[in-house]
Each structure stands twice: as C-alpha cells, then as structure tokens.
Amino acid sequence: MKKRFLTGLAAMLAFGALVQAQPTEKQLSALPILASLDSLTSVLYGSGMLNNTSPVQAEQLDFSPEKDLPQFPGKLIQERMSSLGSEIPLEYNSYVKGFIDLYGRRKSELTSKMLGLSEYYFPIYEEILDRNNLPLELKYLSVVESALNPKATSWAGASGPWQFIYSTGVRYGLTINSYVDERRDVYKSTQAACDYFRDSYELYGDWLLVIASYNCGPGNVNKAIRRSGGKKNFWAIQQYLPRETRGYVPAFVAVTYLMNFAAEHGITTTPADFYSLVQAVEVDELLTFEQLAVALDLSTENIYDLNPHFTKEMVPDIGGSMTVYLPYHKAMAYACMRDSICEMPLYDENGRAYRLDLRVEKVRYKVRKGDNLSSIARKYQVTPSDIKEWNIVRKNRVVPGSYLTIHIDKKERVYLDLPEQPVLAQKVSPENTEARYHTIKSGDTLYSISRQYEGVTVDMLRKWNNLADNQVLVPGSVLKVAEGS
C-alpha cells in the first residue's frame, strides 16, 4: 500500500539516522517523530477514549520506571522475541534497538496508553486475522500506523486504524462516500488489511517484505529487490527501500517486542474508558445519532466512538442496511424498539418537541483557478468520488470557469404540536451545596434527565446513584441530580 506520509507513529519513520547505525541520544531528540507522538496523545485524549488515565498498579518492580529503566543485553531481548513463536521473523539489531529505546523510554507513556486500547482492539484484530489464517502479530502494524486510533487521518488522506488511502480502500472493497468511510470501521478495515496481507504474501513469500510493501507499495519493494540482485530478505534490501520504510519495519519489530514485554521495561497499562462488549446491529433506515442517543440513553459521543465510519453523525439510507456498533445491552434494547425509534420525538433545550427533517440541497459551484477535486470536496465536506459521480466526470482535472453540482445535506428541526417536556429552571452549580433529587416520570431516560439540569451528565447520574449501564428507570423512584458538599 503506497503511502508517502502516514498518520501518527508511521508519519515520521522516514529518517536517515537509522539507515546505517543506531541513532544517538542527540539524533533522537531532534526527530520530528517525538512531536508526532505528542500530537497523537492529544488526539486520543480529545476523542474521549482515554478519560481514565490512572495507570494500573503493576506487580512491584525492582527499579523506578521514571529514573532507572533497565538495560537488557541484546541476547536476552532476542531470546524473548524468539519465545513469541511468531511466523514473522523478529530480529534484534541496532535498527530495532533504536525504536525499543524510543517506545520503551522516551515515549513509554504513549506505549502505556496503547496497551490500554489494545484490550479493546486486539481481540477484534485477532479474531479476523485468525479467520484468515494470518500471523496474529500483524495486529501490531495498527499500533505503528495509527496508535490504535480509528479516527486518525493524515494530511495526505490516509485514514482509519490501518491508514488506507482512498484508492487502496476502494480496491479492497471498502465503501467511501460523503456519509460512510469504512476505512474507519474497525472490523471491515481489518478484513481489508488481511486481504492486502494475503495478496502481498503470495507475491513475496516473506512477512517482513509484506510489511514493507504495506508502507511503500509493491512497486518500491520490487525495485529494491532488483537493485539488490534479486534478494528477497528485508534486511538485505533495506538500503534500497524508501527512507521511511527503512525505519517502518524495525518500528514494527520493536512494537511487537514491547507490547509483549512491557512490564519488564517498567511500562504499566493505562486503561481506556471503552466498552468491553460490543454488538453489531443492522439499520435499514435513516437514523441520526441524536435519535439513537435519546432512545438508547447514550451520548452521541459514545455512539461516534464506536462508529467513526459514519462521517455525519447519522446512519444514512443509501440502499441496503448499514452496520452500527453498540454496547451489547444497548443493542438488545435497539432490537426491541427499532421500529419505533424514528417516531420518537426529540426535545430542545426548552423542552419543545421536534423531529429532524433531513434533505439534500443542490448547489452550483464555479470552479476557480487553483481548485482541484480534493480542495472542492473539503470545502463542502464531501469526497472527490461523490463530485465525479454527481457530475458524470471521469477525470480528476477540473477546468476553471466550469460549473459543478454539489449535494449538501441539510438537517433542520420541525417542531411538533406535543406537550412540552418539563424543564427545571434550577441550575446545578458549585454554589448549590445541597444534594438535589429528581422523581422519575414515565418516559424518562438518564439522557433526558441530565438535560434538565445544567452541568449534569449521564455519567454523573450513574456515579451519584450507583447505576449499572443497563439499569431500568422505574417511574416514581428518585434520582440524585446534584451531589451535596
């Protein structure tokens, strides 16, 4: 898969210092990859996936992770790699050592967060890799590609946990349009990555060359093989590969090692605030995340975290059913009420009932000098392929002065003649020091109750009232909506 620049960890693997020798401390300090890793950490925090950031207390170690990181002999590290029994050859050398130092020392905090996220993503990857009879260690490529962030997108357009570019994603059967980007669907993109791995292995018969081709494309790998005199071994052709790929494969080996021997390097796990059990449901009608959130007593953020492949916070009706991932108990609730969710009214901040009117508005855009399909698509939050389809255009070139038809989604509130939802005017704030309570009425959900009290969230209500995720609200019972001091 040819990608000249990749999001996150892979974005800055192209540095020449690793080409001939292990980088020095001074060289590592100057690497842009450090800033890139810091940026990834910020993205993960912002996504809400790392809300709980207190490290798990590991077994007592005989050194301080902050000050006295262990230095293991290369022979021991190689023995540990061999003990994994991987079909992928894992070799310890100066190139790999540079990345073990980077991930294990300078960026051990990020590695700790990846360990937490892996508890959710790795079982998904392992099931799909096993189903395709592929080495399970290939799951670590997603760490290098995106730091296990399905929302990761590079400036060059690579997207999702496996960082597919548009053309490769489409080639491997992923749907990419204005509403859906299956490169960000953890399940479907992983299957697409497996298809790529299998095709590439049939070509090279060597897993490290498969990994190299995933980064720089088979064309560059084939060229390096020819320049090396026909050798089909990564370390033998490394010097002939693009600069970023020379570091990409050693980074994969280092990540594979550290994710298995983190504790030995003083790295504990930072748990991710994520659902442990998720179920796929099929939705065959247009449904907004807001409608789902109200009906299932979830936040729209929860739904988006599990479904980042829906780009406009709605499940579109574009022919055929769409896959939506929900917490298991919410998926069961959806199955019971799926026929009535679209009919359920929504309520604004003043308690007035409304429904959402979704329609498409067509606009004419006059192409300006310097425009291209990608820049126009970004302006209107659509994809270049959408513009080509709407205008029956085959080529990527656009002519200044010509006109293009763009389809813009409009989402408007249509107010209904229904009784208003009761809204309490009382504000819950730090100045209100007494505990306050809400009597549950028929039709109440934690989400609707939280909206009646400023500054109160569903998570706060669960915490204050010791409620389980699947707790049933009984009309007439009382909920605490403000914690007394």
* Each residue's pLDDT tens digit, 365-419: 999 999 998 899 888 888 887 888 788 887 788 899 999 999 887 777 778 776 6
Global pTM exceeds 0.75: no
User: Which one is predicted more confidently, 140 or 468?
Assistant: 140
Of 47-56, 72-81, 310-319, 372-381, give the lowest mean pLDDT range. Answer: 47-56
Q: Which residue has the higher pLDDT, 59 or 48?
A: 48
CB-based contacts of 362, cutoff 8 Å, min separation 6: 405, 406, 407, 408
Q: What does the chain come to in residues?
A: 485
Q: Is the pLDDT of residue 236 over 80?
A: yes
pLDDT at 3: 41
pLDDT in the model for residue 427? 42
pLDDT at residue 68, rounded to an integer: 47
pLDDT in tens, 420-467: 555 443 444 444 446 678 877 766 778 778 878 877 888 888 888 887
**Per-residue pLDDT tens digits for 347-367:** 776 777 777 777 778 899 999
- CATH 1.10.530.10 domain position(s) in the chain: 8-173+183-265
Q: How confident is the prediction for the chain on average, in pLDDT?
A: 79
pLDDT at 48: 44
Assess whether pLDDT exceeds 90 at residue 200.
yes
The pLDDT, as a whole number, for residue 65 is 41
Annotation: CATH topology of 8-173+183-265: Lysozyme (1.10.530)
Q: What is the mean pLDDT of residues 157-178?
A: 91
Cα–Cα dist 233/275, whole Å: 41
- State the Cα–Cα distance between residues 331 and 129, nearest whole angstrom: 25
More confident residue, 62 or 248: 248
* Class of the domain covering 436-482: alpha beta
Tell me the average pLDDT across 248-269: 94
Is 70 exceeded by the pLDDT of residue 24? no
Q: Are 18 and 247 in contact (CB under 8 A)?
A: yes
Q: Which residue has the higher pLDDT, 291 or 17?
A: 291
Amino acid at 431: E
Residues of the chain with CATH 3.10.350.10: 355-415, 436-482
The pLDDT score that the predictor gives to residue 470 is 60
**Topology of the domain covering 355-415:** Membrane-bound Lytic Murein Transglycosylase D; Chain A (3.10.350)
